[in-house]
Structure 1
Amino acid sequence: MTQPAPSAFGRLPILILLGAAVLGAILLRDWLSFEALAENRAALLAFRDANYGAAVAVFVAAYAAIVAFSLPGALLCTLTGGFLFGLFPGALYNVAAASTGAVVLFLAARAGFGARFAARMESQGGAVARLQAGLRDNEWSVLFLMRLVPVVPFFVANLIPAFLNVPLHRFAVSTALGILPGALVYTSVGTGLGEILARGEAPDVGVIFTAPVLLPLLGLAALSALPIVLKFWRRGR
């Protein structure tokens, strides 16, 4: 059964997010940079020390907004979480903020276009419908794979489930757990960010592609893909 077209009000959230993403990428480009963080690191640390609770709230809200608006600053925020709050609870703040922003974008996309898009795919039949059915049969595995394998852009991994009408609880749980390993790595890098910025250098964000980090992540990805492989093997038999 074809879903009714979303109303103008239903499309408003995703349109607002898209508009803000374009404006933010233009207007905030200089602010979402390591240079800006280096210039303001003393002020940020002083604010954290004087108002810890407010600092946590502002950080989580700002990080969530950056993710929801798909602005190019999520990695910088993760490093900043480690810089300001340490590995723990910094990693928890990072995961909570990124997951919240992802859920906001997911809900906005699904309300605006996702349900109707999914229904249209299913009504077309053929290969498209079979692909959609296959994804539904392996939703947990596919959702975890998109988070664990660092080749899918984060904002794309937020939109695809919305367009396939994935249940909210599956999206939220797989997002929070799936980004946790990477968040731990980058938060750990961020704990040493103060000394790196003081030397006028940039952190090595490519650390996630080194063997000691990448191999465990790929192992988790393989574990997530195992149910899919077993299903295909059983069907083949």
Structure 2
Amino acid sequence: MTRQTLRKLALAVGVLALAAIFFGLGLHRYLTLEYIKSSQQTFQTLYASHTAAVLAAYFFGYIAMVALNLPGALVASLAGAALLGFWPALLVVSFASSIGATLACLLARYLFRDVVRNRFSHLLDRVDKGIAEEGAFYLFTMRLIPAIPFFAINLVMGLTKMRLVTFYWVSQLGMLPGTVVYLNAGAQLGQLESLSGILSPGILASFALLGIFPLATKKIMGMVKKKQTDA
């Protein structure tokens, strides 16, 4: 067994160990809207007293969650907006999600690209061709369509030849509209005091955006693609 293989094996074991600790400690049980809502007052008191520490913990925790493909990123986004407020959550989630996605891409590239490319080179060649023809717009389109799983994009792009710098800045821009929509919904839920408040205009508008955004994005990207083809 070569030294590089041993390093890859050690890294894979480390990733699996961190995931096992996450589930073993039951941390996933805290990533529910019910728990977050019940702890809102306590958390906001802590946030007021230790703002920088809370933001740092949320930032690095979010990066780890995305980089290791752990469940709960969506709930963590909604919770961040509900507990921190829209603008602080937007700043943290926007950068943390892009950095975490880039780390996930890097892990997939280092651990799996050679093996997968040897077995499925014909499929990856098609993706590489799409990237070569459309450049960063290829990834940008994928990032704007919520129907494509977030973690799948990170893993698949890790198997391609796209530069990590390009992957990062395109992800930063491409995920921003969706992040704004979800955080807006989270901020509205954070203001909910009773079940009757679910009918407030702000919350209803946020839920409407959650439903309309994927459809509108798909329609717009289809129009852009058609215009490019016609040109």
Could you say which structure has the greater relative contact order, defined with CA pairs below 8 angstroms and 6 or more residues apart?
Answer: 1
Cα distance, 1:64 vs structure 2: 1.2
Structure 2 residue aligned with 1:101: 100
Residues 158-204 of structure 1: CA deviation (Å, up to 9, x unaligned): 100001232101111111111100110111112122233x4269888
Deviation at 1:58, TM superposition (A): 0.7
CA distance in 1, matches of 2:151, 2:109: 14
Say whether 1:16 aligns with 2:14: yes
Q: For 1:132 and 1:216, how far apart are their aligned partners in 2?
A: 25
Write the mapping of 1:1-237 to structure 2, written as runs, cut at 5 A. Answer: 6-21=4-19, 24-25=22-23, 27-118=26-117, 121-122=120-121, 128=123, 130-137=125-132, 138-196=134-192, 198-199=193-194, 207-211=208-212, 213-214=213-214, 216-218=216-218, 221-222=221-222, 225=225, 229-230=228-229
Return the TM-score normalized by structure 1: 0.78
SS at match of 1:7: helix
1-structure distance, mates of 2:23, 2:208 = 26
- Unaligned 5+ segments in structure 2 are none
How many residue pairs match? The answer is 222
What TM-score, normalized by structure 2, do the two folds share? 0.80
Letter in 2 for 1:151: A
RMSD: 3.1
Task: Pick closer, same or farther for the CA change 1:156–1:77 going to 2, 3 Å.
Answer: same
In structure 2, do the counterparts of structure 1 residues 75 and 46 end up closer, same or farther at CA, with 3 Å as the change threshold?
Answer: same
Cα distance, 1:130–1:159 mapped onto 2, change above 3 Å? closer
Structure 1: which 5+ residue stretches go unaligned? none
Once residues 209 and 154 of structure 2 are traced to their aligned partners in structure 1, the CA distance between those partners, rounded to angstroms, is 21
Could you tell me whether the CA contact under 8 Å between 1:90 and 1:187 is conserved in 2? yes
Residues 132 and 94 (structure 1), Cα distance of their counterparts in 2 relative to 1, 3 Å cut: closer
Q: 1:63 to 1:133 in 2, by over 3 A?
A: closer
